[in-house]
Structure 1
């Protein structure tokens, strides 16, 4: 009898152990993924507490130059640093997903702004039939203005650093700046459309990058025939009108890129932002210095603090600049572009707080969300090595690649948008 009990007990024990083994085997993969996300979340919290990571002094030809990319080893896209681990000890590498809300934050404010046109076959009607339908939000706020400065919104957006949020931006300073942007002209990109439209049912926009592909293109007259012409950073037009046009209705920049352009391109003819009655200045706010400059420009005062302390904004925008000519991209819009259109591998690296879409990419994608027809000139194409970095370069300069932007990923996006008919990309072919 005792022997029989031992046999039965041994059998029960064996079955129990087998069940536990099967259960643990089934739980293994989820547990690994949970551990991975916990580790990633902890890294995100550490980075967010520190704010933006420091970087070397800006390069003369790039917005915020950081460690250059190295040639891509096999399996590593765009030379972005990735963590190499044994496949037996870690889950497989995955695409960036919106599960890390404290960093990715794939939830956005929704605004109800009626369309300005009834354009047949415009971008908004075509996008639903393309691969971008699931990414494209028609109610995303492209610009921020006075009504966005609430305590609740400040708490929500203070979780996100850099251009993606309001981390490090004092609420009172934010509210004082946005209070000056209190008209429809500040919240609508093409605010003068009702005077400009004539008989047109569609808003036609030319978005002009500074790429060397435009040199000797003779595209200037074509560019100037659009309703709106968008330019960015060191946009030199004097002497290059036949290739790039002369008009500028929207000039996109950050305070940092403006200062860098004035320093780097002065010898080539850049004297500051374009000035005309139709020009609007669209700030991409990377830091609090952008809010300080907007406030000073809108109130015709001096910058109160920071690197530009005491400066008179009229040196950049002219004596007659008004608050109605100033606009600021909404941080939700920048984060949305990063998350849904340009989710670079850099988001999985230790440099992720440095990464955002380039200023030119933000400008082009803003046009995609506000115009009915978009033509893009001077943006990178697969044969970019044939052309100098800028159309105004006196000698050939190769395009540089840096970790804060993913220019190859952007180039691929322009190819996709062109292929499905959402933009018309100048390729010189």
Structure 2
């Protein structure tokens, strides 16, 4: 049975240190909650970013064939604007969602190809390969979003010692989207690999060293967590709901183990779940994990008490194990979200396995860094001003839960 243990006497009430801590805590709360709300409120149908998918394989006589998948609405607006073809923008917008999107691409093939040619290149031994389009563009649905597919042949001449793939498609400077990633899988020069190209790393070489390749995936893992507000809020909910350091580290580790499993399965193409299901579930998980902390405070009912459980083996009670189970379950779903963001769908290889493991290490390093920054001040606040800490935690949890529910409704409705 659990018992109620009185908090330290309210001698800190009104004390200057407590007030300072309260002000700092509320400022942090406001900053944490303002960012995701602003991000959610201003996101477009495809969010702030776009993903391009490129499959690059060796062909006969030194040729290289690329299959490009580009988000349809971003392509017609970017190409129409960059190539001074306003009719492409108008036709593409009119055809969007009608099932006849391909008509706009077929009506303006030169503008589309010119845009892609200027921003996606394959080079052999430092010399650019001549590009031609194979057949006509097609349109298909990718996770419920129209994508245009272009097949390109790169004439590289004689057999090359190494190839470089470079993409600057949909750059930030165009003002259409931000943070575009081009997910490349290649089978060239007797090597197979994958890379995520962006403004920081716009190109990949088949001669890239293993160490450089793994460091790139470590960076990608760190960036995906830092730029993913939903995952940041999930971690914040875990932190405010943890009594001890080992509670939050254990929960974060459980989360990492879970998302590593589904991330690997999804990246290998063994499991595929539509983002229409994954993204709302991720949002719901944020709300429920934050709500769990509020539910645990129910016994207080306005009194200055924390619930102190009777712990069992490993210093954990039934509620702790339940919380870990919930976190692990939602971690499985978050892994599908990470896999969808990275966009890798490839056959088994040791290179791919090591890349994905390093990607997860990058995620875990950022998680532990955030815990190291946020949890110690929270513990100090709980010791110096327990009432303030309690209210600050409740405000954070309530705000995170509200944002999670807002995102859940928004994503189920298909808005934003």
| TM-score normalised over the length of structure 2 | 0.23
Looking at secondary structure, tell me which structure has more helix per residue.
Answer: 2
| TM-score normalised over the length of structure 1 | 0.23
Looking at secondary structure, tell me which structure has more strand per residue.
Answer: 2
